Amino acid sequence: MAYVIAQPCVDVKDQACVEECPVDCIYEGERTLYINPDECVDCGACEAVCPTQAIFYEDDLPSEWANYASIAREFFAGMGELGGAARVGKIDHDHPFIAALPPQA
């Protein structure tokens, strides 16, 4: 299990969670942030500081955003060991579901 960033982050990308994460597992895509489920240590530090309330423990995702857990896994599939978000920098794409969303207010 891991924490998951859901739709309220799309087109907002407040980075308070990035600064709070002790293991540097929150990566920036084009339109949203993603928590790497293989690197997350389930500490919850990110959830507590998220101003848009977009971060949930995977088991606690609201039903309308339940697909965001698989979106995160699929986003990181095939990327291999990344070694931390600070080292990688901004990733120049999003998961196709996120990319296809209309602009968020």
Residue 46 is given by DSSP the state H
Q: What is the mean pLDDT of the chain?
A: 96
pLDDT at 65: 98
d(CA 66, CA 56): 10
Whether the CB-CB separation of 50 and 17 falls below 8 Å is answered with: yes
pLDDT tens readout for residues 76-88: 998 988 999 999 9
pLDDT at 38: 95
pLDDT tens readout for residues 44-68: 999 999 999 999 999 999 999 999 9
- What is the third-level CATH fold of 3-96? Alpha-Beta Plaits (3.30.70)
Give the start-to-end residue ranges of the domains of the chain.
Answer: 3-96
Q: Which residue has the tokens 């120049």?
A: 92
Dihedral angle over CA of 50, 27, 78, 69, nearest 10: 10
Full-model pTM: 0.96
How far apart, in Å, are the Cα atoms of 8 and each of 77, 84, 86?
A: 23, 23, 23
State yes or no: pLDDT of 105 exceeds 90: no
